[in-house]
Each structure stands twice: as structure tokens, then as C-alpha cells.
Amino acid sequence: MANSERQTGNYSAIVQCEVACYTHKNFFRTLSQSRISEVIEGVFRGMLGIMSGIRPCGAAFSWVFLSVSAMACSPEAFPVAIDVGHYRDAPGATSASNVSEYVYNLALARKTLLALNSRGFSSSFLIGESGAAISLSSRPAQANKRLASAFVSIHHDSVQPRYLHRGPNARESDYASGFSIFVSRHSGQASAALGRAIGREMVDYGLSPSPHHAEPIPGENRPFLDRSIGLYAYDGLVVLRNTRIPAVLVEAAVIVNPADERRITSGDLHDKVANAIAAGVVAFCK
């Protein structure tokens, strides 16, 4: 083979490998920084092999993608940032029994961390646990700084003011019930995949999604990505759109609904949600 032909063939192989890397880019989003360096080293080994004519692209990159697949699900190297929605001085919604949303967010976030730890995700951590003021933009920034592999923001839901009425302890409503999951389409397909994994587990744990955020009224009108698992697109949410990793926001229940709140205080709703989120992370990593 003439040298020019060999160079042309090698260039074609390199282009094919670039396409393969782009196709599999979501694998890299699930890796810790230390693991990424190992994969990159393998990529360069493959590229050197290609350019020296030692082996074709497929053979060179089969090791890389097998390595990525094997490493992507290493729980101890997959830290999940669990964001406690709101903080003490800006506590979010008020429940039917006059409890602040932040109280429930913190309780569920801690249970979610335990559920992740029990599945081997020992490097996961909480954001906002202290209750001190924290801006929306600094939450994903903290996750990025600490090299989190995924970001889950924990919240509890309310409804639009038109549906609230005065109850025995606070304003309440039985208009909506159940969970909702939000992702920003600006943060990539990996976020939607994580949202779907968690949503499926929520349903499998016997929890019901709420459709009320899709109602075509001011303040709602969120497009469904999957109605059956309560997955919505909410592109403008700061804590989601500013992340460089798969990110979701989970509304665990509608706490202005007295029945939903009772499932938290006297039932096992938080246990189910925490385990569903953890199981969803496991499923996403596979």
C-alpha cells in the first residue's frame, strides 16, 4: 500500500473513532474524574495503534468502551449530590399541618443518602443540610466542584393559589396528589435518562405520579416527557440547567394535600421515595 493510501485509511479510521466517541459520550458523563483519566489513556493507546497501523479502530476502541461500561457502574466512584431544596429562612411551601417544606426536604434527603449508601454509593453527599442560606446557582456549582456524577434535588409540592383554601391549620387542597420529576432539556439526554429511571422505580414502589403541572394555566403548563412516570421538562430551573452532570428535581408528594402529608408523617412514603431514588440511580448506572 502506498504511504498516502495508508495515511488516508488511518484518517478514515480516526474519523470513525471520533464518531464512536461522540456516540458514547454519555458514558463519560457518569464517570468520576479519576476514572475519566483512565479511559482517556485507553483512548490514546487506541489512537496510537491506529496511526501506526497496528490495529483497526474497532479493535482499538473495544477495550475502551468495555472499560467505560465496566467502570460506569462502580457505586463507590459514582457520588450523587443530594440537594436539600430551600433553606430555613426561605423554607418553600407550607404543608396542610403548617410544617415547612424544608423540614420534609431535609428528612427525605437524609433517608435518600442512607438508601444510596446501603447500595454502595458511599461517596454521595448532601448539599444544604445545615439550613444556612444558599443560592440556587451555588447548589449545582457545589456538586460540580465536588465532582459529583449525578445531582438530585429533593422537594415537596404545592398547587397554584387558586386551588388552596383555609384548613384547620394552614391553607390546603385536595386538587393534586402524588409525585413529579423535572429535568431540563438543556442538561442533555443523560438527565432525562436518570429521570426516567427514578420515575419507573417510583411507580414500581407503588407511588402515583401527579399530572397537575401539565395543566395549561399560568405557573404550570409543563410539557410531559413521560406522563406514566410523572416526568416533565422544566428547562428554566436553575438547579438543573446549570449542572454539567445528569440532574433531576423530585417533588416527592403534594404536602398541601392532607392525605399526602399523612402518608409522610404516619406512613412509609419517605422510605419508598428514598429507596426509589436510590434504585433509580442504580438502574441508570447499568
| Cα 228 off chain centre by | 18
CA-nearest of 56, 75, 61 to 22 is 61
Cα distance between residue 127 and residue 85, in whole Å: 9
Helix (H, G, I), strand (E, B), or coil: what is residue 277? helix
For residue range 37-57, what is the model confidence (pLDDT) as tens digits?
Answer: 444 444 444 444 434 443 444
Residue 178 grid cell? 402524588
188 or 259: whose pLDDT is higher?
Answer: 259
| Distances in whole angstroms, Cα of residue 163 to Cα of each of 171, 172, 173, 212 | 10, 8, 6, 11
Residue 196: the pLDDT is 98
Total H helices, total E strands in the chain: 10, 9
For residue range 230-266, what is the model confidence (pLDDT) as tens digits?
Answer: 999 999 999 999 888 999 999 999 999 999 999 999 9
Kindly list the strands in the beta sheet with 224-226, ordered across the sheet, starting from the edge strand earlier in the chain: 125-127, 80-84, 150-157, 247-254, 180-183, 231-233, 224-226
Cα distance between residue 115 and residue 112, in whole Å: 5
In this prediction the pTM is: 0.77
